Structure 1
């Protein structure tokens, strides 16, 4: 059994895909898969599917989608399995639960690895942190729920996963830099700061990374781009921390060369 939401939706049982082609049925399955083993309320399903434009009898429509998903489960399980699809996609008093024994959703795998990597980094175990965060990043196959038409509930979950991924990538880059592997992450950092133009933490890493690669001019330009974006879009200056980092580059501060403490010093 395989459950994947970090990219196109994947739900397979005995090698057979359960992902329907119909958009709303796919949304229901995606919502259940994103909450594997956890209760999903009927209210959440209705909000996801119709976002305020609810049909006359939403409960009956949702029951139809669930019935279709259970039928797909029954086909995938086959007559020899003996498992009742209602045990795997069960009804509660207020909603539904998808339970696939032995399966771990890729999002859970990612978050477990990312959490382990962050703990290792906090303990200054950079090599272990880099290895765990590399594995966490490898779980992703593309944008979360890439082939699902998302409503408000799934959009919120996709944004949450993207933010967790961004934080994990930031920690991963930090671990690489602590190991002195600056050139390996410079391209990735440049792409990340372009994607998140107002994220100060990422820009701080890029500035230090460029400086340690002997590219002080580009480090200063990275600060100027961040400042222009923040003033132009938010009407505020970069934080004192970023400004101290900028001044450190200007004066060629030796603290910037310390792989372990360069950022912590500012």
Structure 2
């Protein structure tokens, strides 16, 4: 069901479903077993919706040439609502409307209730989509924190950034935001500690030094220079690009 839903309104080939379920070692009976799974899923959907199984087969979980299609209405899936709110938030950011962006991006992130597909045993197809969802969430979190910093919400972002940097030890953007927020809160020593922790992680595990932006902010903090609360905070520009359910990039 998860594989069908992340490709909603598109035909998912039987070969893709078999690969997701059994990887490269499908049983001899895989086609018959898959058909049984589809039948059981239709029965489950019929019980949940009050429709007949035949109605579900005709209107919801539809057989197509070479595969199956899960038909949904616009707004039925939380991931679609998330993408729409993110698009609205990015437009607000591009136009300089931080208050609207803060509200809209916060609403988008409130749709998340834990990691994507957390209760699904994923195969190769769903794992790729799971990583895509998680990366999208991180990008939105970065935009939200930038917005909060522009609005002077230095204290409000600290708890979130402490958790995010711990969960993403090589993510320079999040560490830069954390350093900036700590320094603007008068916590210079802790801001320097965040840089050192980032540097140790990058050098020891990837053989890399922090990039120019992180190093520049580190020098400013080390020299106790004034930091512009607005400086270095990004606004999205240009078209909004996101991945379609087929995995292809689309421009909006």
Q: Which of 181, 193, 203 is 2:175 aligned to?
A: 203
- TM-score by length of structure 2 reads 0.86
Give the number of equivalent residue pairs.
234
Distance change (3 Å), C-alpha of 1:163 and 1:212: same
Could you tell which deviates more after superposition, 105-114 or 131-140?
105-114
User: Paired residue for 2:91?
Assistant: 119
Question: Cα distance, 1:103 vs. partner?
Answer: 4.9
Structure 2 CA distance, aligned partners of 1:253 and 1:142?
A: 39
Hey, what does 1:177 align to over in structure 2? 149
CA separation in 2, counterparts of 1:44 and 1:196? 31
What is the CA distance between 1:158 and its match in structure 2?
1.0
Cα deviation, residue 242, structure 1:
1.1
Q: Cα distance 1:243–1:86, how it changes in 2: closer, same or farther (>3 A)?
A: same
Work out whether residues 42 and 53 of structure 2, in 8 Å CA contact, stay in contact via their aligned partners in 1: no
| Conserved 8 A contact 2:46-2:56 | yes
RMSD of Structure 2 on Structure 1 (CA): 1.9
User: Which residue of 7, 16, 22 maps to 1:44?
Assistant: 16
Select which of 229, 233, 243 maps to 1:259.
229
**How far off is 1:40 after superposition?**
1.6
State the match for 1:25 in structure 2.
none
Stretch moving more, 167-176 or 143-152:
143-152
Task: Kindly report which structure 2 residues correspond to 1:105-254, keeping only aligned pairs within 5 A, or say none.
Answer: 105-254=77-226
Alignment of 1:60-79 (within 5 A): 60-78=32-50
Structure 1: where are the runs of 5+ without partners?
1-28
Question: For 1:208 and 1:56, how far apart are their aligned partners in 2?
Answer: 58
Question: How much has 1:79 moved relative to structure 2?
Answer: 5.9
User: How far apart are 1:248 and its partner, in Å?
Assistant: 1.0
Q: 1:213 to 1:88 in 2, by over 3 A?
A: same
| Residue-by-residue CA offset, 1:37-74 (whole Å, 9 max, x unaligned) | 22222122111101111111322221111111112223
User: 1:140 and 1:224, CA in 2 relative to 1: closer, same or farther beyond 3 A?
Assistant: same
Does the 8 Å CA contact 2:182/2:190 hold for their aligned counterparts? Answer: yes
The answer to whether the Cα contact below 8 Å between 2:56 and 2:62 also exists between their aligned partners in 1 is: no
